Amino acid sequence: MSGYGWNYLLVKREQTPARWVGSDGCVYPSETEMFYELGATGWELVAIRGTDEHEVYYFKRPRA
């Protein structure tokens, strides 16, 4: 039954140094770069939670 369901990814914005860190260990130097890379690999943004200082981005994509 592989291929059913979703994979999820969380990306947390860190203030110092300014960067975005994914739950998979990937680090993005800017928000634009994060959206470009994740969109190109099939991730869909589904929610943003937190405050301006502690934002967490939630992504999903179909399981392969």
Range of the domain at 13: 8-62
Determine, yes or no, domain membership for 49. Answer: yes
Phi-psi region of 3 (alpha: psi -120 to 50; beta: other; left: phi over 0): left
């928000």: which residue's tokens? 31
Kindly state whether residue 2 falls inside one of the protein's structural domains: no
Between CA 24 and CA 11 the distance in angstroms is 9
**Residue 23 CA to its chain's centroid (Å):** 8
Across the beta sheet with 55-62, what order do the strands follow? 27-28, 19-22, 6-14, 55-62, 44-50
Q: How many domains does the chain have?
A: 1
Summarize pLDDT for 7-61 with one digit per residue, the tens: 999 999 998 888 999 999 999 999 999 999 999 999 999 999 998 778 999 999 9
The whole-number pLDDT of residue 46 equals: 97
